[in-house]
Amino acid sequence: MDPIQFAPVSRTTVSEKVRDSLLESIRDGVLAPGARFPAERTLCEQFGVARTSVREAVQGLVFLGCVIKRGNRFFVAEDLPDVPLGGDDRRKRNISELFEVRQVTEVAIARLAALRASDAERAQIAALAAEFGPGLRLEEFRDLDRRFHLALARACGNPTLHELYRKALDAVFASEDFSSLLDAENNAAAVREVIAEASIAHVRIADAVTSGDPKVAALAAADHLGEVEKHMIARMF
């Protein structure tokens, strides 16, 4: 029997596309129930992606119940759950919409805060940024993240924008779609990376605001949001 071949995928949201391609093969019976899963190295070569992307895709299938692990090997589950292809698209579309709102508001807020913040407000923003670190638990990070961004909003010198942003941030923190990704056990490694990268990003934003550089502050805020969204859409299941 000829080995199963998979076409390379685009490197945008790689792990998600690899996962969906594999899921489609399982649904179509190309990868039959109970069959041994293709080796990681084989999948890397056929999809044209790194091992990290393949591992994340396979772990996503394990989480969905379509793949099981026996010893050191993976197999297609004999009793497949009813999981439609791209079943989490709605959830991730909602998250993307929330990030669009954050991009519109937070980038402007960071720029204005760099221009208008008082000395006391700059000191508070710098102090909050210094509390971030890769070892923070998710609950601690989310609380500090909220306080940091609200401090920026208060410092932008526009009460209307501050109130608008507070409501947007409330929507993010109240979002079940947002929380379900962050709280999922299989996303723990990706969440740790988000916390580590976001900790660095918050310091960059704070440095730009305290030094009064609106251009750098806006760019740092935009980069930060882009990185977090990329992790949540591409690497979490």
- Whether 8 shows a pLDDT value over 60: the answer reads no
Span 68-91, average pLDDT: 74
pLDDT score recorded for residue 83: 54
Q: Average pLDDT over the chain, rounded to whole? A: 87
Report field, pTM of the whole predicted structure over 0.85: no
CA distance 13 to 236: 10
- 3 or 103: whose pLDDT is higher? 103
pLDDT score recorded for residue 80: 75
Which stretch of 6-20, 93-107, 187-201, 215-229 has the lowest confidence by average pLDDT?
6-20
Q: Could you report the per-residue pLDDT of 203-236, keeping only the tens digit for each? A: 999 999 999 999 999 999 999 998 898 888 766 7
Which stretch of DSSP H or E encloses residue 89?
Answer: helix 89-116
Q: How many beta carbons lie within 10 A of that of residue 158, not counting itself? A: 17
pLDDT score recorded for residue 218: 96
DSSP string, 173-210: HH-HHHHHHHH-GGGHHHHHHHHHHHHHHHHHHHHHHH
Going 95 to 101 to 105 to 107, the CA torsion angle's sign is positive
- Those residues whose C-beta lies under 8 Å from the C-beta of residue 92, and which sit 6 or more positions away, are 177, 232, 233
